[in-house]
Structure 1
Amino acid sequence: MKSYGQFCGLARAAEVLGERWSLIILRDLLVGAKRFNELRQGIPGIPSNLLTTRLRELEAAEIVERSIDGRNVVYRLSEYGSDLGPVLIELGRWGARRLTAPREDEVPTDSSLAAALLSSRTEVAVRPFTVEVTAGPAEAHAVVHESGVDVAEGADPHAQLFIGGPGLRGVLADGEAEAAVAAGAVTADGDASLLSEFARAFRAPLDEGVSSPPAAE
């Protein structure tokens, strides 16, 4: 880890957070504690040895801690690392402002989708509900409270609303969930009355002049 040689809080933070893959590891741990193999499988493209290095660096910085759960080593954010939660959420919101269609080599993951739900939760009060969201191969679910949300990776067969499809990014951008379903750009099952609640609870608007992605795979 290289120093910027400046007595500055931002420079000190960048020494740790600016390393390649560090923010992605922290994003996945923000969603929930994980074993090494869960992190490795959830972050396509990161070599195992580099993941080991980054985890050691984050542990040394007291941002990540590990514990033993049965026979497994589990990594989670420390109390100090958890203070990064609002920062990571705001970074996700900032990045999403110009996030339209995925690049050719980009795919959503369960953790990235769960993190997207976390970062796109609005401050609007809604009727509490549970939702399962799919985007390509990724699945995540959320328990939506009146003024907050708890997210997790994977499916939830007991969710009240199931939503997904190629038009999902557009729904997050413009809030037109019912129109997207009617157009076939988004699929929805379960309690149809919750579509409007979903659209109010989750928004990730695009910057002015940035077009919504086409509703196609």
Structure 2
Amino acid sequence: MGNIKKIFLIILLLTISYNAYAQEKHFIEISISDTLILAPLKFIYQISISDKSTYYPLQDTVSEEPITFSDIEKILDAENFTNREYSSNYSITTYSAEIENLLVYLNSKTELKRLYDVLKKNKGVTGKIISVEHESYEPYYTRLFERMYKKALTEATKMAEVTGNETSRLISVTETKAETENFFNTIMEYYKEYPLDFFNSNPDLSKTYIKKLLFRFELK
């Protein structure tokens, strides 16, 4: 008789535990993804004098005399591109043990396009973007979260109605990894290696910021 009581007690405890677990797990999960497109703000543009063994010159070249950095400096001064400095990438080529570059700091895509239009007319000049600074996502984050929450609540409410339930409070929000590839990084790597005729291809220099959240709502 004692063993029967013990077995009954164990079954009772398991039943209580199961009911508590079921109540605890009475929720619905909704995964929501959203995207922000961040505009490019500032650029660093690297100018080099081409060595045909290693560089691709800009198109539409019209001048015949080999250009020097002194010539480039005069062109930049005339066009008010004054925020610049020299650097070296220490590349070894047939003609030189060290390749000198001129870095120009630009504050807009308009300036970038204007610089490109100026430089492409000169034979022997090569150029490429080596850095882009984008606007911050932080000013948009609250609005982004509100939009994602509304989407999640709408979907959760519809799914709950189908199963004869109602959504109650929001239990938790968890950030999950967005699997979408960042196209900006891919395209920037491409144009770093192949700066030829950059603007004729009309690349998008914006950065895609993807947010993916898992919303958990209690059901009643």
Q: Which structure features the higher share of strand residues?
A: 2
TM-score tier (shorter): under 0.3
Tell me which structure has the larger Cα radius of gyration. Answer: 2
Higher RCO (CA < 8 A, seq sep 6+):
2
